[in-house]
Amino acid sequence: MTALLTGCQGGILDPKGQVAADEKSLIITATVLMLLVVIPVIVMTFLFAWKYRASNKDAIYTPKWSHSNKIEAVVWIIPIIIVTCLAVVTWKTTHKLDPYRPLDSDKKPINVQVVAMNWKWLFIYPDLNIATVNQLAFPKDVPVNFRITSDAAMNSFFIPQLGGQIYAMAGMETKLHLVANEAGTYKGFSANYSGAGFSGMKFNAIATETPEQFDAWVQKVRASGKALNADAYLALVKPSENNAVAFYTTPEPRLFDAVLHKYMAGRQSLAATDDELKLAALTKRLCETPAVKEQ
């Protein structure tokens, strides 16, 4: 049994955040409620087969029997109670664990913009003017607000020990709110097949013990990163497998929104303000195909 349970380490049954812990509790509660029907049925199957075997001459033989109010009451009332309990639990947890619902906390959340690429993850910290590839960091006990999209095929953003997955789709934005209650490094990946490099589309989510450690990580990124402008993004977006961790600084402030609106490039007639014109221009720039140098 101990050997079998080692497979739960690092997965959804080994939560390190409040969202993941609530999801684990929901899984266990729903499973136990359903087992209240499954286990008795399995037991009675073997019991009836044994009791009414051909060699048991003492078993009561009633070929004319057709109805029992007691049995009818049991087979209807018990399932109704179980389904009602499941419905109540599902209703409450569906709203409580809504990925779009911000987490309750007295600490200021960290905002992260996520772009799924072939085959890597780009994380943009708009409030900190940094960006990373295949590495994510935040202090423990501090909520993280994710805005998620894709600049490639549909993917699924998933950090099992911190919370449920949510899809990343081109031209669309999804949201996710997570928090880590323990410091550590947690595995993240895409849970939706997206081509040849899918197996290497992984990243580390680092929950630091203190805000000071997170600040040190931010300074490390700023010291070793390069500017993430439109040209750097066009180079980064090219398909690559098993991409190494990379750091960037001063990302273009409209980059995430431009990626989100790539499929509406050229519609500058809809822009009414200077910021919208700049966003439309950047979006059009990101739609350009990078020039291929001749050998």
DSSP track, 218-235: HHHHHHH-EE--HHHHHH
Q: Mean pLDDT score of the chain, rounded to an integer?
A: 89
> pTM to 2 decimals?
0.86
Name the residue with higher pLDDT: 159 or 268: 159
144 and 236, same domain (yes or no) = yes
151 found inside a domain: yes
pLDDT of residue 295: 37
What's the CATH code of the domain at 88?
Answer: 1.10.287
Half-sphere exposure of 127 (CA within 13 A, CB side): 10
pLDDT of residue 145: 97
170 and 252, same domain (yes or no) = yes
Q: Measuring CA to CA, how many Å separate 224 from each of 38, 154, 242, 246, 249?
A: 57, 31, 21, 9, 9
Tell me the pLDDT tens digit for each residue of 50-64: 988 888 888 888 888
For residue 277, pLDDT beyond 90: no
Name the residue with higher pLDDT: 276 or 235: 235
- Does residue 140 contact residue 211 with C-beta atoms inside 8 Å? no
Domain count along the chain: 2
Burial category of 62 from C-beta neighbours within 10 Å (exposed 0-12, middle 13-18, buried 19 and up): exposed
Domain that includes residue 51, residue range? 18-56+67-97
